[in-house]
């Protein structure tokens, strides 16, 4: 397993970049605009992590700006921790057997979400290419929220 990023929701790109980059000193390494999903992702790295972050896409902070206004209450602005795993299906199976609910199963062979005992959302991403769709995951419904 490898740590990838922490996602934080933001309400204003300019103000957030002023804080995270201008004041805190992080540097933008990648930006994704998604018209259909109506969001912008901005990935930031600490200056000493920038070469590694560019090569490995980690460790990063992901700022998520949703184009449609939303009021983020206490804790809602924090999104999730993300880890890359060698085998998404084996990891989810091991977690499920240990009593962890798979809130968003890896139906696509690429991504799953679980929650910590304290409700922290954790994204699991398949290393490399997505695995072929596979049962029981392909037809497994979501459980709760993530």
User: Residues 6 or more apart from 111 whose CB is under 8 A from it?
Assistant: 88, 104, 123, 124, 125, 126
Q: Please tell me which residue in 28, 48, 62, 123 is annotated as part of the active site.
A: 123
Tell me which residue of 146, 25, 9, 144 sits closest to 65, measured CA to CA: 9
Can 84 be counted among the known catalytic residues?
no
Could you tell me the CA-to-CA distances from 14 to 10, 19, 30, 139 in Å, in that order? 10, 9, 16, 41
The rounded distance, in Å, linking the Cα atoms of 77 and 60 is 17
Tell me which residues are annotated as active site.
123
């Amino acid at each position: 397993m490898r740590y990838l990023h922490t996602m934080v929701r933001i309400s204003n790109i300019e103000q957030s970049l002023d804080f995270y980059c201008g004041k805190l000193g992080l540097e933008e390494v990648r930006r994704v605009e998604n018209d259909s999903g109506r969001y912008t992702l901005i990935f930031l790295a600490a200056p000493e992590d920038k070469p590694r972050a560019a090569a490995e896409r980690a460790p990063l902070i992901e700022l998520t700006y949703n184009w449609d206004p939303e009021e983020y209450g206490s804790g809602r602005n924090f999104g999730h921790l993300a880890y890359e795993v060698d085998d998404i299906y084996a990891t989810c199976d091991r977690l499920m057997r240990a009593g962890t609910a798979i809130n968003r199963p890896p139906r696509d062979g690429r991504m799953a979400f679980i929650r910590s005992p304290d409700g922290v959302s954790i994204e699991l991403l398949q290393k490399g290419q997505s695995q072929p769709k596979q049962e029981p995951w392909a037809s497994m419904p979501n459980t709760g929220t993530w």
